[in-house]
Amino acid sequence: MTFFRSGAGLIPEFPSPHENTDILDVATEEAGVQPPFGQALHVTPLVAEGELVARGAAVACLRNAPDICLVAPIPGRVARISLLPGRKLSEIILFREENGGIARHAIAASTTGAELRRLMQTAGFWPRLRRRPFGGMPKGDEVPAAIFVMGVDTRPYAPDPQQALEGREASFERGLAALYSVTDGPVFVCWPDGSKVPGVQTKEGDLRWITCGPRHPQGSAGIRIHQAFPAGLDATVWDIHAEDVADLGELLDTGALPVTRLLRIAGAGLREGLSVRTHPGADLRQLTRRIAAPGPHVLMSGSHLDGRPARWLGHRHRQVTVLPRDEARPRPHWLIAALTETAATRPVIPTAALNQSLGAVLHATPFIRALGAGDDELAMDLGLLSLLEEDVALADYALGADGGIMQQVRAMLDRIRVEYAP
Amino acid sequence: MTRGLWTRETVATLTLASLLPLAVFWIWLGGGQALSRWAFTLLVIAIWHLVFMLVRAQPPSLSALVTALAIAMLSPEELGLFQLTLGITFGVVMGELVFGGWGRNVVSPATVTLAFFGFGFPAAPWPVFDAPLAWAAIPAGLLGMMIGVMPAALLIVAASLGALAAGLGLVSNPVLYAAGIALVLLVADPVTSSSTLLGRCLQGALYAALLLLFASAWSGAAPPQIAVAAALLSSLAAPLFDDIALSLWVHRRRRRHGRT
């Protein structure tokens, strides 16, 4: 009966070896500070190559919003600063040195909304937030219509946010209370069905709990936002991971932003799976060096569904996927290619699988057809503005689209931003 | 990168698999003649798929097997090879291939072909279905619903209304048998049926209502002809039902959230 009670969605299965139950704390010897995936950041470097920086110290700030800083995830020496034309950040590489120290921020006894916002920006917390529509981190003065705290993650092999919050309940509540002061609207907390809901005081703001089942994409932020509080061109909605909320609470208590997060390493390219506590920008090669299976493999920051090949762990990623590298296949005979491949997009056939892969909360077939046809207005009507690539990753996988649907979502969001956004 | 299985060809294969109970019973009862009819229909469809692959770079689809089964089962008997070829050509080319192949068509090519036969060769006798064959449509529909390649709401609404009409004595058994077979072969086509829940319910209801109307008011029409006409009109109305369902959904979301 569990099958019928667990609600909409699918449980995709991917091969991965048995996981070691020990959780190790790992700070990699090298770390990379990068912009969030798909976002070009024009930055001003605040450090020089060869300079020693503390953990949590600002290494760069945005040119148009100097308060928003990118910080060093490890104490160490700046090895290289790579900027693209237009001073767009490519990466800042750090070599770890333990004598770098930890950067601390002054905390007032009672923090107002503006002060908290400035603290979050200068402490390097801002890239952990993500806005919808269009994705990326919010603008410095943006006031969200609602904030979604994701205490559940249903992606395959995702680490359990509840495990990450063990022993940090007080910090989580402190961080949650702080979020009221940066929004005028409600704060939604997505929580696993059947798990104990912490007794958070709700007198300060509008706190609402949403329970989610175990199937993907029920724990996907976009699906939950679409269902409970859709984002619009004039109503931005932020989402943040529950572990980051606990980090915010700890920042407000101690003045230092914790940088470690629970990370799970899985995939068919491993000898054994592993969970570690590490920092954003961690060196994926070092993390997987001892557990990768022999032979060529691909390191992806993110899950099997939405991960991308990368050298450094992404800002919001809590999964690393290691897959064996496919050998280049010989080109098939022209007749076989004509029978099986096509340059045009493959048509999508409506099935129950497609509906479930989008959580059965939006009209999947008209939505996918609107994406394929480039019908911006219909796609917006059907809920595109609440979604990002990762929310349709399961549909992309289920339909065997090879990333085509995620690309269509990104292309359409970019077009809407140019043509419709105020 | 890893990929899922629900591609176009997987759905075509699973649709054929769910229709196997019907196909097996039909071949068992019809023997070699039925099999050769299916083979000939498939040959004509395959030739047109090949032509469109070479001329338009459109990959062929295994859905040709399903289309061939529907045409072979429901088309009038005693049609000559030329007449059969003409009808299949019209239905497959104008109903499916010119739109870009299976997945982009508006009406099922089998429905277009059968409607063409009905209008073009009205004197040809339509097949008569026995009860065992009609009963085989039930496991076919159930399999299609369980696998997820057939719209469950449409099948349930149409079957429920059909059962109600039969219980009230509004339709004869031959019409009911033909309607059941046409329901799983033509109306429940995953591409051309409605894609929203409300649209599917409305389409199933329209199919049943048209069936009742034609059965009571179309004098001289054979049961398969009635079922095919109802299937054609309900398929043509499917986009309208979807549009109504989406408009209502958007209106409700705007009223509740102020946006969609």
In tens digits, chain B (260 residues) has pLDDT values of 577 889 899 999 999 999 999 999 999 998 899 999 999 999 999 999 999 988 888 888 999 999 999 999 999 988 889 999 999 999 999 999 999 999 999 999 999 999 999 999 988 899 999 888 999 999 999 999 999 999 999 999 999 999 999 999 899 999 999 999 999 999 999 999 999 999 999 999 999 999 999 999 988 889 999 999 999 999 999 999 999 999 999 999 999 988 88
A368 touches chain B (CB under 8 A): no
Which of B53, B103, B196 lies at the smallest CB-CB distance from A363? B196
- Going by C-beta distance under 8 Å and a sequence separation of 6 or more, which residues neighbour residue A325? A269, A295, A296, A297, A298
Q: How far is CA A24 from CA A275, A283, A373, in A?
A: 7, 15, 48
* Average pLDDT, rounded, for chain A: 89
Chain A residues whose beta carbon lies within 8 Å of the beta carbon of residue B101 = 347
- Of residues A334, A308, A389, the one with CA closest to residue A133: A389
State the pLDDT confidence band at A201, using cuts at 50, 70 and 90: low
**pLDDT at res. B99:** 92
- pTM, 2 dp: 0.92
Please name the residue of chain B whose CA is at the shortest distance from the CA of residue A351: B149
Residues 6+ apart with CB under 8 A from A375: none
Question: Residue A44: what are its φ and ψ, rounded to 5°?
Answer: -115, 115
Parallel/antiparallel/unpaired status of strands A130-132 and A237-241: antiparallel
Mean pLDDT in residue range A93-118? 83
Nearest CA in chain B to A229: B257
- Closest-CA residue of B relative to A368 is B195
Question: Is the Cβ of A349 closer than 8 Å to some Cβ of chain B?
Answer: yes
CB contacts under 8 A, A 219-278 vs B, are 229-230, 232, 235
Taking 90 as the threshold, does the pLDDT of residue A282 lie above it?
yes
- What integer best gives the mean pLDDT of chain B? 93
Residues of B in contact with A339 (CB under 8 A): 53, 59-60
| C-beta of residue A27 within 8 angstroms of C-beta of residue A96 | yes
Helices (H) and strands (E) in chain B, counts: 9, 0
Q: Which residue, among B1, B13, B4, B5, has the nearest Cα to B149 in the 3D structure?
A: B13
Where does the pLDDT of residue A421 fall: very low under 50, low under 70, confident under 90, or very high at 90 and above?
confident
Task: Say how many CA atoms lie within 13 Å of A225 toward its Cβ.
Answer: 31
Q: Which of B257, B244, B29, B3 is nearest to B136 (CA)?
A: B29
Cβ(B58)–Cβ(B100) below 8 Å: yes
A412-A414-A416 Cα angle (round to 5): 70
pLDDT attached to residue A1: 39
What is the three-class DSSP state of A209? strand
Task: Please enumerate in sequence order all residues whose Cβ is within 8 A of that of A69, keeping only pairs 6 or more positions apart, or say none.
Answer: A46, A58, A59, A60, A61, A121, A122, A123, A124, A126
Partner-chain residue, chosen from B59, B147, B196, that has the shortest CB–CB distance to A341: B59
Instruction: Please judge whether B53 and A304 are an interchain contact, meaning their C-beta atoms are less than 8 angstroms apart.
Output: no
- The CA radius of gyration of chain A, in Å to the nearest whole number, is 21
Distance CA B250, CA A194 (A): 32
d(CA B113, CA B93): 10
Residue pair A318/A261 in contact (Cβ under 8 Å)? The answer is yes
> What pLDDT does A37 receive?
80
Contacts of B4 in chain A (CB under 8 A): 12, 353, 397-400
Looking at the complex, report in whole angstroms how far the Cα of residue B224 sits from the nearest Cα belonging to chain A.
Answer: 27
Instruction: Name the DSSP class of A262.
Output: E
| Span A380-419, pLDDT tens digits | 999 999 999 999 999 999 998 888 899 999 999 999 999 9
φ, ψ of residue A352 in degrees (nearest 5): -65, -30
Q: What is the DSSP string of A72-116?
A: -SSSEEEEEEEEETTTEEEEEEEEE-GGG-B------SS--HHHH
CB B19 within 8 A of CB B141: no
| d(C-alpha B131, C-alpha A11), whole Å | 41
Contact B57 A14 (CB under 8 A): no
pLDDT recorded at residue A199: 67
Q: How far apart are the first and last CA of chain B?
A: 33
Q: Check: CB of residue B76 under 8 Å from CB of residue B41.
A: no
Q: Using the predicted structure, report yes or no on whether residue A2 has a pLDDT greater than 60.
A: no
pLDDT in tens, A343-357: 666 788 999 999 999
In this structure, which amino acid lies at residue A348?
V
Q: How far is CA B58 from the centre of its chain?
A: 22
* Residue A175 main-chain phi, psi, to 5 deg: -65, -40
Residue A68 DSSP label:
-
The first and second tokens of residue B244, run together, are 């109504």
H/E stretch holding B254: helix B223-257
Q: Is the distance from CB of B244 to CB of B202 less than 8 angstroms? A: yes
pLDDT above 80 for A198: no
Whether A344 and B260 lie within 8 Å, measured CB to CB? no
Does the beta-carbon distance from B195 to A353 stay under 8 Å? no
d(CA A70, CA B74): 68
Sign of CA dihedral A370, A374, A375, A381: positive
Nearest to B165 by CA among B129, B210, B208: B208
Contact A350 B190 (CB under 8 A): yes
Look at A186 and A7; give whichever has higher pLDDT.
A186
Beta-carbon contacts below 8 Å between A and B: 108
Average pLDDT over residues A194-213: 76
Pairing of strands A319-324, A297-301: antiparallel
Which string of b and e fits B15-39 if b means at least 16 CB within 10 Å? bbebbebbbebbbeebeeebeebbe
Give every CB contact of residue B120 below 8 A, 6+ residues apart in sequence: B83, B86, B87
- Does residue A358 belong to the interface with chain B, where contact is any CB pair within 8 Å? no
Chain A residues with CB under 8 Å of B8 CB are: 346-349
The tokens of A372 are what? Answer: 């394929």
Question: Does any CB of chain B come closer than 8 Å to the CB of residue A323?
Answer: yes
**How many percent of chain B have pLDDT more than 90?**
83
Q: What do you get for the CA distance between the two ends of chain A, in Å?
A: 48
* Region for residue A400 given its phi and psi (left: phi exceeds 0; alpha: psi -120 to 50; beta: otherwise): left
Residue in chain B lying closest to A379 (CA):
B260
The 3-state DSSP class for residue B37 equals helix
